């Protein structure tokens, strides 16, 4: 599959009401404008209210008699799908094919920009749980896919738009039932296309689970904005955390679901939190980061500003007004220029872009904040110069690797017994493991960590020396008496903070607090605290084998092998400052060519793509 670069699309003049005012020529004009701007793939939304316009007709004593069409009152037989809307969607698909665009279709668009759009027959009901709503959903999806499955511009079916916002669920099984209803209905009519989730705010312990969506869908999706949902509201969104967290969150989704994933929605809200130029910088680094880190695509929210629309949901929140590539008059904003330049750049690169080389795994444990720790661990890895994947092992074997990180262990059940024993066996056979501590319970500390516990202290504040400076930290710690372990760092009280212990043929490193939680929870924490240096020490052997090295915490290096002898190497500046990089080429390699950017200076939120060759 080619990298899906594009936007989320509603028509400029009518927004969510576009299907009630369908204009074939206006659609074609808008698609051409978007294509000329570099958009190659659009996510589009058949408004469920308009495509299945069913309402109930009642008779004597309020008895339900039949379904009728909400537009003209005619009786509805069968699924109630409006075939006029279907014909318009056929035309829409043809228009996309004419201009050369592909489409991701969010079939059950019952939620959009803060408002429900459901058939009038189920107005006021929970669309996720209500039996009647599930029947209408199933009928609608069957008909929609059956009628449109031959349209060549459609490359993927999407369950809907953030369908987990349509109604509350009390348990994961209700969420699973709704999603499986839609998935099964799609596959009954078309088993040739992948199905994407279309959800946001999935996680580990919530009712809408990443693992369940991975079981049902072929592709997982993230909708990362500079919002509290992903901790992206703590500092300017053009600084490292928010510049990389969208990628890290998507890798996290992919790891837990065991499915590919992509950034399906992304944007920057209002000018309160950043200028138009910052928004353009944010888009650029997101596209480059998505491409080099193996995500399937990147789609901006949205095509047009909607400040001229005077109906709900646009009158409910001013935050929805100015999120487009183009303003309300159709004039390009700075993000539009970035979209065009990035599209041209990508068209000049190998397609599909080579797969990212991973150096190891971040293993998630039970009683932690899985998403935050995964994103923090991946960020430390990127700062240190390595790339990690994410795994949660529940009754399955750990993936093969020589490098593992087990961050922020907390609680009584960090891992199941079999997984813990398997992990130690991997280390015994030569792997390296790094554990960080947040109050979790382990056994056999003298053997595992090479130290003995003299008790624990909760909520302490200390400092350590990193990079020649005293760096404060706080958290939970074990009062440790070293035995066989080498003490790499200790705090001002003399308690070991960073240890290295020989375990069989491998090594176990131990960080005696949670740098992941502290950096994630602290505004500008990944710049304020150089805790990534501990990851760098753990992974030194892997880092030194990289074709290209740059010693800068804000530059992330990704290696994408093309063959045994050649690789693409992407250097991305995840900061809001231009950087003059001190590039060191591994003696076994040489730079063959520069495909994008230059090595003399990497502008803010930009990058360099090199092709390197073994000598």
- What domains are defined for the chain? 4-50+81-347 (3.20.20.80), 360-538 (3.40.50.880), 548-614 (2.60.40.1180)
CA atoms of 540 and 194, how far apart (whole Å): 40
- How far apart are the C-alpha atoms of 568 and 555, rounded to whole Å? 16
Regarding beta strands 548-550 and 583-585, do their DSSP bridges make them parallel or antiparallel, or are they unpaired?
Answer: antiparallel
Secondary structure (3-state) at 145: helix
Q: Which two tokens stand for residue 460?
A: 């302490």
Q: What is the pLDDT of residues 155-207, one digit of tens each?
A: 999 999 999 999 999 999 999 999 999 999 999 999 999 999 999 899 988 99
pLDDT of residue 393: 74
Cβ burial of 402 (10 Å; 0-12, 13-18, 19+) is: middle
β-strand partners of 451: 482
pLDDT-based confidence at 232, cuts 50/70/90?
Answer: confident
Contact 560, 569 (CB under 8 A): yes
CB count in 10 Å sphere of residue 102: 18
Question: Above 80 in pLDDT, residue 394?
Answer: no
- 174: its two tokens: 């209700």
Question: Where residue 75 falls among pLDDT bands split at 50, 70, 90?
Answer: very high
Q: What 3 state SS string does 76-135 have?
A: CCCCCCCHHHHHHHHHHHHHHHHHCCEEEEEEEECEECCEECCCHHHCCCCCCCCHHHHH
Higher pLDDT, 393 or 149: 149
Average pLDDT of the segment spanning 455-469: 95
Residue 409 has pLDDT above 90, yes or no: yes
Determine the pLDDT at residue 227: 87
Q: How far is CA 570 from the centre of its chain?
A: 19
Is 391 in a helix, a strand, or coil?
A: strand
Rounded mean pLDDT of 81-93?
A: 98
Residues in the chain: 615
Cα→Cα distances 330→37, 326, 352, Å: 12, 5, 32
List all residues 6 or more positions away from 25 whose beta carbon is below 8 Å from its beta carbon.
none
- How many CB atoms are located within 10 Å of the residue 74 CB? 8
Per-residue pLDDT of 308-352, as tens digits, reads 999 999 999 888 889 999 999 999 999 999 999 999 999 999 999
Give the phi and the psi of residue 375 in degrees, each rounded to 5.
Answer: -65, -40
Tokens 């599909």 belong to residue? 352
**Neighbour tally for 558: CB within 10 Å:** 24
Which string of b and e fits 258-268 if b means at least 16 CB within 10 Å?
ebbbbbbbbbb
Could you report the per-residue pLDDT of 508-532, keeping only the tens digit for each?
Answer: 999 999 999 999 999 999 999 999 9
Which CB contacts under 8 angstroms, 24+ apart, belong to 15-19? 15/306, 15/309, 15/314, 16/45, 16/47, 16/112, 16/113, 16/115, 16/117, 16/313, 17/47, 17/311, 18/47, 19/46, 19/47, 19/50, 19/51, 19/85, 19/88
- φ, ψ of residue 50 in degrees (nearest 5): -85, -30
The C-alpha atoms of residue 110 and residue 50 are separated, in whole angstroms, by: 10
* CA distance linking residue 476 with residue 460, whole number of Å: 6
Average pLDDT, the chain: 96
CB atoms within 10 A of CB 310: 7
Q: Is the Cα dihedral 589, 594, 597, 598 positive or negative?
A: positive
Tell me if 484 sits within 8 A of 460, measured CB to CB: no
Parallel, antiparallel, or unpaired: how do β-strands 115-116 and 111-112 relate? antiparallel
CA dihedral 131, 136, 142, 145 (to 10 degrees): -130
What per-residue confidence (pLDDT) applies to 395?
66
Closest alpha carbon to 96 in 188, 183, 32 = 32
Q: Is the pLDDT of residue 435 over 80?
A: yes
Mean pLDDT (whole number) for 240-262: 97
pLDDT at 231 over 90: no
Percent of the chain with pLDDT over 70: 100
């Amino acid at each position: 599959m080619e990298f899906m670069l594009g936007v989320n699309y509603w028509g400029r003049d009518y927004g969510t009401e576009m299907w009630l005012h369908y204009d074939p020529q206006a659609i074609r004009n808008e698609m051409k404008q978007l294509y000329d701007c570099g958009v190659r793939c659009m996510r589009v939304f058949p408004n469920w209210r308009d495509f299945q316009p069913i309402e109930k007709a009642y008779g004597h004593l309020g008895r339900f008699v039949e379904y009728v069409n909400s537009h003209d009152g005619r009786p509805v037989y069968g699924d109630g799908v409006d075939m006029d809307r279907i014909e318009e969607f056929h035309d829409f698909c043809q228009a996309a094919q004419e201009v050369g665009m592909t489409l991701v279709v969010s079939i059950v668009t019952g939620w959009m920009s803060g408002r429900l759009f459901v058939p009038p027959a189920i107005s006021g009901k929970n669309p996720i749980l209500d039996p009647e709503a599930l029947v209408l959903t199933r009928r609608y999806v069957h008909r929609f896919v059956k009628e449109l499955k031959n349209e060549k511009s459609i490359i993927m079916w999407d369950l809907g738009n953030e369908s987990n916002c349509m109604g509350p669920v009390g348990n994961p099984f209700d969420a699973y039932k709704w999603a499986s209803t839609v998935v099964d209905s799609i596959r009954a009519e078309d088993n040739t296309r992948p199905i994407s989730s279309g959800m946001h705010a999935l996680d580990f312990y919530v009712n809408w689970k990443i693992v369940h969506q991975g079981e049902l869908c072929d592709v997982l999706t993230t909708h990362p904005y500079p919002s509290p949902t992903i901790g992206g509201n703590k500092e300017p969104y053009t600084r490292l955390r928010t510049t990389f967290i969208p990628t890290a969150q998507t890798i996290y989704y992919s790891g837990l679901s065991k499915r590919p994933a992509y950034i399906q929605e992304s944007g920057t809200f209002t000018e309160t939190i950043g200028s138009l130029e910052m928004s353009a910088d944010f888009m650029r680094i997101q596209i480059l980061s998505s491409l080099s880190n193996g995500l399937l695509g990147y789609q901006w929210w949205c095509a047009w500003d909607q400040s001229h629309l005077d109906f709900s949901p646009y009158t409910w929140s001013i935050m929805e007004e100015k999120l487009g590539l183009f303003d309300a008059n159709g004039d390009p904003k700075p993000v539009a220029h970035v979209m065009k330049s990035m599209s041209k750049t990508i068209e000049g690169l190998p397609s599909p872009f080579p797969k990212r080389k991973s150096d190891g795994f971040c293993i998630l444990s039970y009683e932690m904040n899985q998403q935050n720790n995964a994103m923090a661990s991946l960020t430390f890895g990127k700062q240190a110069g390595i790339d990690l994947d994410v795994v949660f092992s529940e009754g399955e074997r750990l993936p093969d690797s020589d490098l593992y990180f087990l961050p922020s262990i907390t609680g009584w059940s960090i891992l199941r017994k079999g997984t813990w024993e398997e992990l130690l066996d991997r280390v015994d056979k030569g792997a390296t493991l790094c554990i960080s501590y947040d109050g979790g319970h382990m056994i056999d500390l003298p053997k595992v960590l090479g130290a003995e516990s003299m008790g624990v202290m909760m909520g302490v504040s200390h400092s350590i020396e990193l990079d020649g400076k005293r760096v404060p930290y706080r958290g939970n710690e074990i009062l440790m008496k070293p035995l066989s372990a080498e003490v790499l760092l200790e705090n001002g009280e003399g308690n070991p903070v960073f240890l290295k212990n020989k375990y069989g043929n491998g090594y176990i490193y131990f960080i005696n607090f949670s740098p992941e939680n502290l950096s994630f929870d602290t505004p500008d924490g990944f710049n304020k605290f150089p805790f990534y240096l501990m990851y760098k020490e753990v992974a030194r052997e892997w880092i030194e084998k990289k074709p290209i090295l740059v010693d800068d915490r804000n530059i992330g290096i990704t290696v994408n092998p093309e063959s045994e002898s050649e690789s693409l190497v992407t250097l991305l500046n995840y900061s809001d400052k231009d950087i003059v990089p001190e590039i060191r080429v591994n003696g076994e390699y040489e730079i063959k060519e520069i495909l994008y950017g230059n090595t003399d200076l990497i502008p803010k939120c930009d990058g360099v793509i090199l092709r390197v060759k073994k000598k």
